[in-house]
Chains A and B, each alone.
Chain A
Amino acid sequence: MDHIDIKDLLWMYRAMKKSRYFEERIEKAYLEGKQPIFNIGAGAIPGEMHLSNGQEPSAAGIIVHLTNNDTVTATHRPHHEAIAKGVDLKKMAAEIYGKKTGLSKGKGGHMHLFDPNVKFSCGGIVGAGIPHAVGAALANKKKETTDIAVAFIGEGAANSGAFHESLNLAALWNLPFILVVEDNSWGISVAQKASTSIPSNDLRASSYGIKGYLVNDNDPIEMYKVSKEAVARARKGKGPSIIEIKTYRFLGHFQGDPELYRNKEEVPSLRAKDPINRLKEYLLKEDLSTTEEIKTLENEIYTEVDSAFEFAIQSEYPKPEEALEDVFY
């Protein structure tokens, strides 16, 4: 299980870097029309914006082992997972801009991204995606495929009823299901220690008789290894797992969060351990890649993301009365 495929690591680097660059562009675009006075409803991208900068290993480290036929459900902070899963980048950007060409014709927005082509969905209610993924895993089992389902949640959702009910179902029915808990230390302003009675959620696996894994310090390589095993087990019908990764939230809960609840030194110390830089250094140090190869890869990412934004910006808004469509088929 310890075998590391170089191609996989490069794939992960690409997914992580793409997510980061995509979000850096969102971060800037989000402030357009919101300066000098911040108004959440103003500008090119209105509404809440939850960015995942720093959390990229959680998504890339497991999705590298998935196919288009495996299901992923994500949270209100979904971009890194959506991008790793291969959600159409142009349509995703257009959705975030509220355009007609978006994934949901502008009806969903950044918290509600749906791309059935790659079996990706997310939502704005904490914990709600867990049973959806359990249901997808149930369908996979009934259809006798080797496809699996992965639900991503933050550590805050691990204290919801949906978490416990879903894991019991997944275990009871021995489903091809994996729950990834991204512990970024904060449920908005509430610290992990103040919300959870145990240090990490992999420990909770034993109460359902399933496998639990812990990835410390946001380590992309460790996430890759652990996920490889969990995915292989799920595909072979060996049952569900919980993977908890201790990850980093570089930004506020949402853009505009004053973050008065956290120590000012926390973010710089996390940024000093940026997982994307760490993966790059690993690739170079182990001679798995070269500076030139990485530069080329990065340039491809910039071009792809920039053209997605260009598409979004140039696209038309929906007509107001289109609001009335799509309630029923």
Chain B
Amino acid sequence: METTKDKIKKLTGSKAMIQALDQEMDRDDSIFVMGEDVGKYGGIFGSTTGLFDKYGGERIMDTPISETGFIGAAVGAAAEGLRPIVELMFVDFHGVVMDQIYNHIAKIPYMSGGNVKLPIVLLTAVGGGYSDAAQHSQTLYASFGHLPGLKVVAPTFPNDIKGMLIAAIRDDNPVIFMFHKTLQGLGWMDQIDASLGPVPEETYTIPLNKANVVKTGKDVTIVGVQMMTVKALEAAKELTDLGIDAEVIDLRSIKPIDKETILKSVEKTGRLVVVDEDYYSYGITAEISAIVASEGFHHLKAPVVRIATPDVPIPYSRVMEKFVIPDVKDIVDTVKNMLIV
């Protein structure tokens, strides 16, 4: 965001996405959206509401449940110079179409020696916390972050959602754009303050490779993504009452990962807690711990602590789901253990 004179309105995550799509589609005729229920329904998680009425079925295309077909078709269309934005409703559904994603979308630009560009944006909803069980509640950040050739972003706040979506659309590389259901500000889900925030009306971009320090502090660094950033901020507030000054980093970009911002913060605080809604093993918490262990070890005053969903599928029953997904209390307790002997 460069200017302060822009008109700024409070928008939900969903409205911020729609505004980004609308402004970009208005600017560039080569952009079109396809996916299940993106038309009249407006996207199950409100990503395209109203766009069908404005742009019609030629540019906001409802697809059959032919996921390998339409995501594979994005490859062909992008190679021919269009800029497809494809939504696959839940990140969990990508199992059906992973060949197109990890063998084709991720690799064709490289295998072609950079001669084939695939400016595709894959939109998908992530996250649990509302008892949708094992096949509809995952985040899978790390599964996508593991694959060379894909940029993977997961913004938290409406301002970042808009700026990063515009940047993703304008990027000539394939970008997986993950939006968290609870951060969309939908009327039929949990209502949380973080899902509503100031968004400039003008178009702007936010880089796809930069984390953001959302609260400065000196005692401990807490790194989160999406809902875990929100929970880290709540935890930081509680910790303030205990005299602990936590710094909170919103990762925003899974791949490429912004090492500098994390290392700079750990250099200051000497302590690191990484919180992730995704599974524990081989995940974001492991990646960031490894980065700090390799490149910032001498700054650490305490072992790094990883808080993540344990290695179990997300259970249906509320009591068990609450147990596995990290919460504010888990973060507060962890930091207390680190700092209060």
Contact = CB atoms under 8 A, between A and B. Distances in A.
Interface stretch (A40-48, A143-151, A206-214): A40-48
A123 interface: yes
A272 interface: no
Q: How large is the interface on B (under 10, 10 to 19, 20 to 34, 35 or more residues)?
A: 35 or more
B85 to A, nearest CB: 18
Contact of B311 (A159, A261, A322, A327): A327
Contact of B68 (A41, A161, A318): A161
Interface in B286-341: 310-313, 315-324
Interface string B82-117: 000000000011011000000000000000000000
A278 B316 CA distance: 37
Interface of B: 36-37, 39-41, 44, 62-69, 92-93, 95-96, 129-136, 187-191, 310-313, 315-324
Nearest to A317: B319
A124 interface: yes
A220 interface: no
A319 B36 CA distance: 37
A196 B64 contact: yes
B317 A99 contact: yes
Contact of B62 (A102, A108, A112, A190): A190
B64 A112 contact: no
B188 A39 contact: yes
B312 A41 contact: no
Contact of B189 (A40, A106, A128, A322): A40
B133 A188 contact: no
B133 A108 contact: yes
Among B36, B64, B187, B310, residue most surrounded by chain A Cβ atoms (within 10 Å): B64
A324 to B, nearest CB: 6
B41 A261 contact: yes
B92 A125 contact: yes
A40 B41 contact: no
A237 B289 CA distance: 58
Contact of B188 (A95, A125, A256, A320): A256
A187 B64 CA distance: 8
A98 interface: yes
Given A189-B41, A190-B37, A196-B64, A318 B320 contact: yes
A187 B315 contact: no
B318 A125 contact: no
A156 B62 CA distance: 12
B153 to A, nearest CB: 25
A188 B36 contact: yes
A323 B65 contact: no
Contact of A39 (B63, B66, B190, B318): B190
Given A40-B130, A41-B129, A46-B130, A111 B37 contact: no
Contacts of B321: 323
Contacts of B44: 188
A157 interface: yes
Nearest to A109: B316
Most-contacted residue by chain B among A40, A127, A256, A322 (CB, 10 A): A40
8 closest Cβ contacts across the A-B interface?
A41-B130, A109-B316, A98-B317, A106-B317, A320-B323, A46-B131, A47-B131, A323-B320
A195 B64 contact: yes
Contacts of A104: 316
Contacts of A195: 62-65
Contacts of A296: none
A125 B36 CA distance: 14
A196 B65 CA distance: 10
Given A194-B62, A321-B323, A188 B41 contact: yes
B64 A125 contact: no
Contact of A160 (B39, B67, B134, B189): B67
A112 B40 CA distance: 29
Nearest to A162: B96
Given A109-B131, A261-B41, 13 more contacts: A39-B190, A47-B130, A47-B316, A98-B131, A104-B316, A107-B133, A108-B134, A112-B316, A159-B65, A189-B39, A195-B64, A323-B312, A324-B312
B190 A41 contact: yes
A329 to B, nearest CB: 14
Contacts of A320: 319-320, 322-323
Contacts of A128: 96
A32 to B, nearest CB: 14
A24 to B, nearest CB: 21
